[in-house]
């Protein structure tokens, strides 16, 4: 029997133990080498490569523009508060969480405040979203949508139970994740109030001549007008020769498992971030976690500071104070 990939040696090149065996100096050097080729600093302000180094304070000063910077300046870990080793550990823990990693787990594993872990996890999701940014799909592409959120608790009394299948009886917080998956290729995800909302987005990302596969939902009609495609009638069967959407649906089951097993609820304003995260895990599932780790760190180093998450709790505190 062939061994499951996740149990093979290649999948275990990076262990959390390795990170925790590093001294803070080693962690710093590791990050420095991942950020800059050969660890040679480049000024994030002007791109200058002639730099003074103040070793004791781990500060650099650019000879060209005279400004100071650190190894994390202008990266996702900008204005960092944790030790370098904690960041590496966070990325390792996050990579290892095949079904997602909750902020609560991260806060316990790293022994940091929940708020710190919450922002850190969301920053890593932001990194994961980068791969989808300019992605185009072609060949054969399966498309589907799945609803999240808007759970209506059934009444304990039978006569008072609503038919929860009727949209009239569903809560307004429901949103749909629309996903397109190239056969043998990668995923694209986005979030909309209704399934049909994703048509323009998907159409804009498919190459000419793409063949699409969907279920029989009315939502996909505009796409079928633009692209050659097939529909599978799910009330009858899930596979009809080559006509199936099982590949895109396996992504949704991964997203559901992350919701149930890790987060309990991924609905609301961050649904898009969770979808990006799980798409990244699905797309990169064949990389060893050493490679996944390397990839995330490199993106984190090159992405620049987070617009969405830098200073998140400080802004939240301001909003709350305004209501006091």
The angle that helices 84-96 and 24-35 make with each other, rounded to 10 degrees, is 70
Sign of the alpha-carbon dihedral angle for 106, 33, 303, 254: negative
Q: According to CB under 5 A, which one of 16, 29, 30, 45 is a site residue for Zn ion?
A: 45
Does position 43 bind Zn ion by CB under 5 A? yes
Are the C-beta atoms of 27 and 84 separated by less than 8 Å?
yes
Cβ contacts of residue 89 below 8 Å, gap of 6+?
16, 19, 20, 109, 110
Q: What secondary structure does DSSP assign to 184-234, as a single string?
A: TS-EEEEEESSGGGGHHHHHHHBPTT-EEEEES-GGGHHHHHHSEEEEE-T
Contact pattern for Zn ion over residues 52 through 81, marking x by CB under 5 A: ----------x-xx----------------
Binding range to Zn ion, per CB under 5 A, among 13-21, 46-54, 92-100, 268-276? 46-54
Residue 71 CB, nearest distance to Zn ion (Å)? 15
Q: Which residues contact 272 (CB under 8 A, 6 or more apart)?
A: 189, 190, 191
Does position 48 interact with Zn ion (CB under 5 A)? The reply is yes
Site mask for Zn ion (CB under 5 A), range 2-41, x = bound? ----------------------------------------
Nearer to Zn ion, 43 or 92 (CB): 43
Q: Contact between 223 and Zn ion (CB under 5 A)?
A: no
Nearer to Zn ion, 63 or 115 (CB): 63
Pick between residue 10 and residue 46 the one whose CB is nearest to Zn ion.
46
Q: How far apart are CA 220 and CA 198, in angstroms?
A: 9
| Binding range to Zn ion, per CB under 5 A, among 47-55, 129-137, 187-195, 236-244 | 47-55
The contact set with Zn ion (CB under 5 A) reads 43, 45-46, 48, 62, 64-65
């Amino acid at each position: 029997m062939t061994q499951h990939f996740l149990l093979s040696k290649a999948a275990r090149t990076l262990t959390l133990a390795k990170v925790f065996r590093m001294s803070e100096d080693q962690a710093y050097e590791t990050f420095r080498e991942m950020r800059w080729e050969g660890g040679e600093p480049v000024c994030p302000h002007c791109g200058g490569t002639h730099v003074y180094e103040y070793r004791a304070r781990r500060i650099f000063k650019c000879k060209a523009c005279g400004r100071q910077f650190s190894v994390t300046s202008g990266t996702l870990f900008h204005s960092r508060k944790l030790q370098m080793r904690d960041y590496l550990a966070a990325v390792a823990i996050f990579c290892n969480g095949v079904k997602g990693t909750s902020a609560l787990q991260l806060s316990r594993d790293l022994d940091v405040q929940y708020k710190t872990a919450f922002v850190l996890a969301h920053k890593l999701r932001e990194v994961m979203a980068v791969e989808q940014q300019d992605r185009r799909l072609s060949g054969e592409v399966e498309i589907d949508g799945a609803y999240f959120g808007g759970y209506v608790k059934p009444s304990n009394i039978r006569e008072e139970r609503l038919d929860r299948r009727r949209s009239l009886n569903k809560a307004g917080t429901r949103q749909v994740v629309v996903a397109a998956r190239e056969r043998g290729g990668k995923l694209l995800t986005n979030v909309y109030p209704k399934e049909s909302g994703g048509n323009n987005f998907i159409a804009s990302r498919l190459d000419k001549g793409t063949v699409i596969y969907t279920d029989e939902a009315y939502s996909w009609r505009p796409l079928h007008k633009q692209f050659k495609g097939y529909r599978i009638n799910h009330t009858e069967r899930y596979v009809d020769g080559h006509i199936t959407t099982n590949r895109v649906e396996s992504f949704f089951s991964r997203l559901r498992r992350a919701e149930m097993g890790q987060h309990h609820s991924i609905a609301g304003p961050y649904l898009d971030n969770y979808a990006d995260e799980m798409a990244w895990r699905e797309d990169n599932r064949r990389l060893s976690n050493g490679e996944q780790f390397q990839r995330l760190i490199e993106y984190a180093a090159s992405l620049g500071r987070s617009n969405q998450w830098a200073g998140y709790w400080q802004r939240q505190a301001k909003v709350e104070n305004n209501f006091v």
